[in-house]
Amino acid sequence: MADHLYIGIDSGTQGTKGVVLSGQRAEFMAESYHGYGLIENERGGREQDPESWIEACTKVLTDLLCDPSVRTSDVKAIGVSGQQHGMVPL
C-alpha cells in the first residue's frame, strides 16, 4: 500500500520553509528552507519584493518533490500558511 504524503508550506517574514510528512509513519520525509532579504529604503523603512516569495516557494517545492524519499504520486494534500495578518494578492 502506498504511503499518503502531505506537504506543508509556511511563507514567513524571513523565508519559506516546507516539509513532507508521511501519513503512515508520522515522520518528516523531507524538509527545505529558502530565505529572502529585506530592502531598506532611504527613510529606514523595510520592504520585501513579492517576487522573492514566489521564488522561495518554488525552490522549496522543487527541493521537496525532488527528494529521493518522496514519490510525487503519493502526495495527497498541500497546506499553506502565510506571514502576518493580511492577504497579499500576487
Residue 59 and residue 67: Cα distance in Å, rounded? 12
The full set of domain ranges for the chain reads 5-81
Homologous superfamily of domain range 5-81: ATPase, nucleotide binding domain (3.30.420.40)
pLDDT tens-digit readout, 75-90: 999 999 987 666 666 5
Residue 27 and residue 22: Cα distance in Å, rounded? 5
Pairing of strands 46-47, 15-22: unpaired
Residue by residue, pLDDT tens for the chain (90 residues) are 678 999 999 998 899 999 999 998 889 999 999 999 889 989 988 888 889 999 999 999 999 999 999 999 999 999 999 876 666 665
SS (H, E, C) 24-85: CCCCEEEEEEEECCCEECCCCCEECCHHHHHHHHHHHHHHHHHCCCCCHHHEEEEEEECCCC
